[in-house]
A and B are shown apart, each in its own frame.
Chain A
Amino acid sequence: MEEMRANEPITNNECSSAVFLLYCSIVLLLYCSSLPALQAANDRVCIIITGLGGVPEYEENFLRWSSEMETVFRNELNSAVYNLDGREQKKPDILQVFDQVSLSLPLDELWLFLIGHANHDGRHYKFNIAGPDLTDEEIKTFLEALGRTRTYIIAATSASGILASRLGQKNRVVVTATRNQFERQPPLFMSFFVEAVTSAEADTDKNGKISLLEAFLFSNQKVDAWFKERGRIQTEHSLLDDNGQARLGESQGTLGSDPGAHGTFLASRAFLSAPPEQAYRSLEAKQLASERVEIERNIEDLKFRKTQIPEDKYYRTLEELLVKLAQINEKIEQLEAGR
């Protein structure tokens, strides 16, 4: 009984209770860095597995990145978080967490972060932890047990590119730091991914939230720039497999020329930060805000149909909608300013 509870994510509801303190101590004993989420959302779980660093420099980076992602999911997104330290927690411990999560269905979203070193032995992707490595087959088995849960996998490891094809499928986004199993250098990808989550620059659609797609595009471009700036041969090329249908990587496909395509990605609707809180004082402002949502939906719909509409007509309609939207916002601003 005690062991079962130890593998459960800790929620903020329990934070104030004395039982929670005891619970916390047990968890800390078992999972060194598995810290409690303040307000775990029942519908979203995040599992972060940090692998072996090998050298202190890597170890420090891996742990820092894991800790930062944990903070994001725990504090910003109110998610249940399992932060598993692969130096201490071996394969059975991790598989036990997998089992436990799959038993807690239904879930809306599952996020799985693999941060560390990995290799490919010609047959299997192997994530390096203490004792036997965690394999792609074990991850796959776990993911298959999740049924309809939308799943987001961020494999920030060497040789991770193979996972895009091994794990990519409908209702799933797989982000890998490398484009294949042959890119074996420790990747920089995760450092930029962490930066993206808090960067206004990464919020390219200016909606105040960072989507997984935005974080990926930001990191992908930053990695590219890092190597170019130093005149080095690029040893990593990240990939994003979306819904088992679209693959983004070195070439961003239609994304550059067709902004409407963004919205078609599952990764564009998965967020790594919470939307800004907006409370309106006047009733009229509240009404306008709901009208605004309608226009925003119309804009997204128009963008989605961009390729089917003559260009002139598309931009004319877009401008009309955008002007309306801007006018509504202007009005809301005036109302809220007390005019």
Chain B
Amino acid sequence: MSATENGLVTVRVTVNGRAYERAVEPRKALSDFIREDLGLTGTHVACEHGFCGVCNILLDGQTVRSCLMFAVQVDGHAIETVESLASPDGTLSPLQQAFNDHAGLQCGYCTPGMLMTAKEHLDRHPDGGTDEEIREAIAGVLCRCTGYQQIIESIRAAATTGKGA
């Protein structure tokens, strides 16, 4: 991280395995940086105040709300976004396929945050854990369509395929 002449700060970050370097204003949210500066619009922003979890991404392997971090803070770190899940040829990951098969989404707006949060849960509980653990894991992500039951079934299904996230 280094300051430039016009008040911008240079950020070097690895996103989905690829290195990026950009100059940003310190107040630029990480969520806006990912979408606007890197062009990775899979990460959605909804409330932008940390309530909804839709913008959840993985920072160094842990979920964080990307709207509650500034881009300057991720200099030297590694991020994974929803774009990291599917294969380059477009084949869905087992988790994404399970959401598709079990109606784990309707409008799709919360889905990127839900998927990254579910991925973290499955990375830690390859067998899916208990239903209560799944509910606890996604408690911080709001979905206004599904009623959550199908999301829980999707995560359970992804676990039972034995392929994880």
Q: Determine if chain A interacts with chain B.
A: no
